Structure 1
């Protein structure tokens, strides 16, 4: 999946999965075992913060989407996106180029690492998988996913259904993945799978 001519001394592993599948916990396991992890969600949080690189542009594009301190009001922005069919496309046009820049800086920072992980929720949807040597998808049965998400504070069935409708189906992600980890089998199982994967990808096992 990697781009032609890219340095093959380092393995770039894409990590993705639908909401409630355990992606963040899985990313944490890679970090626990010393693997550099790029967190696209954290990058977006920085961009949305007061004084962030994209906050003011979002405020101008979507009036009413900023808090008094100038940070993006994520709840208000989410509602605007739900109400306006083309809003998500316009938001992505503002945010995705900056996220890609942060991604590029991360890869340059860890140029000497044997393995790095790109934790990107919309990995396939944004084409970020093309910058990866392999893709790991975390998955779980739909009933487990639903229970996890609805247990989150403020989450409703309607909001969950809306989010799912906008994401690539889990079955398609699993089909396109090089590696799949079922997080419903427990934390210990997932960690064992990740330790074995790290050893394989870094030739340390």
Structure 2
């Protein structure tokens, strides 16, 4: 692969966005799966209509109208409470959203095909099988207790709700064995910048993702 494609992943609230900002500040294009997933469920989209049809008024934002109206706006917090408490519903939502996200990645990678380096920021990189798009994989790592506290503080979740979201992803321990680079975010954001610089220099030439250990 001539283009260097950095797959940036981690666990929820592990610090991916901070690393993504550091890379964007260095002029690298950052393709954000979370942005594409939000677009897939934007008001008026086929995804939003499918969700409104399945769950009805309980997932509609206040003032959004009935599910049959052309522009349903979703209450994402309400949708999250449903899917993170029911594995079958989470699978349904992923089967709806993941193909749309893949399409956006394909279109953006085609648009950026002449760029020497592209960053693909994908929380569910391994879970969704998108690691095949990448020439190397950077994992933003921290302790599970830190994830839990950061997630509760960031999103205003209870401990039980935060644990349910953590349980919906692969644990970081499983991802570490598959990463090309592990960025330690157990300290503060200021500790990430030198690690990012080092990883950029170390991978100046394109490389294939490291195979999992035997």
Do they superpose with TM above 0.5? yes
Partner of 1:200: 202
Q: Structure 1 length as normaliser, TM-score?
A: 0.88
Contact 1:62 1:80 in 2 (8 A): no
> Deviating runs (4+, > 6 A) in structure 1?
none
Partner of 1:139: 141
Contact 1:12 1:116 in 2 (8 A): yes
Picking from 166, 178, 181, the partner of 2:180 is: 178
Partner of 2:60: 66
Q: CA deviation at 1:61?
A: 2.4
CA RMSD of aligned residues (A): 1.6
SS of 2:83's equivalent in the other structure is helix
Partner of 1:4: none
For residues 148 and 82 of structure 1, what CA distance do their matches in structure 2 show? 18
Q: How does 1:140-179 map to 2 (within 5 A)?
A: 140-179=142-181
Q: CA deviation at 1:146?
A: 2.6
Contact 1:52 1:71 in 2 (8 A): no
Instruction: Assess, with a 3 A threshold, how the Cα gap between structure 1 residues 91 and 146 changes in structure 2: closer, same or farther.
Output: closer
Where in structure 1 are there 5+ consecutive unaligned residues? Answer: 1-7
Partner of 1:117: 119
Partner of 2:208: none
Q: Structure 2 length as normaliser, TM-score?
A: 0.85
Picking from 69, 78, 81, the partner of 2:80 is: 78
Partner of 1:129: 131
For residues 184 and 142 of structure 1, what CA distance do their matches in structure 2 show? 10
Structure 2 residue 42 is matched with structure 1 residue 40: no
For residues 191 and 7 of structure 2, what CA distance do their matches in structure 1 show? 20
Q: CA deviation at 1:190?
A: 1.1
Picking from 42, 50, 57, the partner of 1:49 is: 42
Picking from 1, 11, 15, the partner of 1:22 is: 15
CA deviations on 1:119-171 (whole Å, 9 max, x unpaired) are: 11100000001111111100112332232222224211011111111110110
Partner of 1:5: none
For residues 11 and 142 of structure 2, what CA distance do their matches in structure 1 show? 9
CA deviations on 1:92-116 (whole Å, 9 max, x unpaired) are: 1111111000011111111111111
SS of 2:118's equivalent in the other structure is strand
How many aligned residue pairs are there? 196
For residues 17 and 83 of structure 1, what CA distance do their matches in structure 2 show? 22
CA deviations on 1:64-103 (whole Å, 9 max, x unpaired) are: 3233151221112112224544111111111111100001
